[in-house]
């Protein structure tokens, strides 16, 4: 079972992950990534999928052509944990590789 973020860890989200939004209704963070075409978007998703499976922490995500919307939360903790912060950073780092 993961531990939910502490108040100070939550306050650091805006600084550490400035382009992510806190969801209104659930304790989650979300972000939209835009790529040039579908192959770049899906290559990005494949990269994230491999990390997600290795972490046993999976995103809720959707894709429409060159757009990928990602929402992260830790279901078994009932909210945001360090796993979400880690996966969010992996997403941001990967997006730079697949953008062109």
Question: Between residues 4 and 42, which has the closer beta carbon with respect to a second copy?
Answer: 42
Query: How many angstroms separate the Cα of 35 from the Cα of each of 3, 25, 42, 99?
Result: 33, 27, 9, 6
Nearest approach, Cβ of residue 46 and a second copy (Å)? 7
Residue 16 or residue 38: which is nearer to a second copy going by CB?
38
Angle at 64 between CA 62 and CA 52, to 5 degrees: 35
Q: In whole angstroms, give the CA distance from residue 54 to residue 79.
A: 20
Instruction: Give me the residues that bind a second copy (CB under 8 A), please.
Output: 38-39, 42, 45-46, 49, 52-53, 58-65
| 72 versus 95: smaller Cβ distance to a second copy | 72
């Amino acid at each position: 079972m993961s531990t939910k973020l502490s108040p100070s860890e939550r306050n650091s989200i805006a600084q550490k992950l400035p382009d992510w939004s806190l969801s209104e209704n659930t304790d989650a963070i979300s972000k939209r990534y835009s790529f040039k075409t579908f192959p770049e978007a899906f290559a990005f998703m494949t990269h994230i999928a491999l990390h997600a499976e290795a972490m046993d922490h999976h995103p809720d995500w959707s894709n429409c052509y060159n757009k990928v919307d990602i929402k992260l939360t830790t279901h078994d903790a009932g909210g945001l944990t360090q796993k979400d912060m880690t996966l969010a950073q992996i997403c941001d780092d990967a997006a730079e590789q697949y953008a062109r």
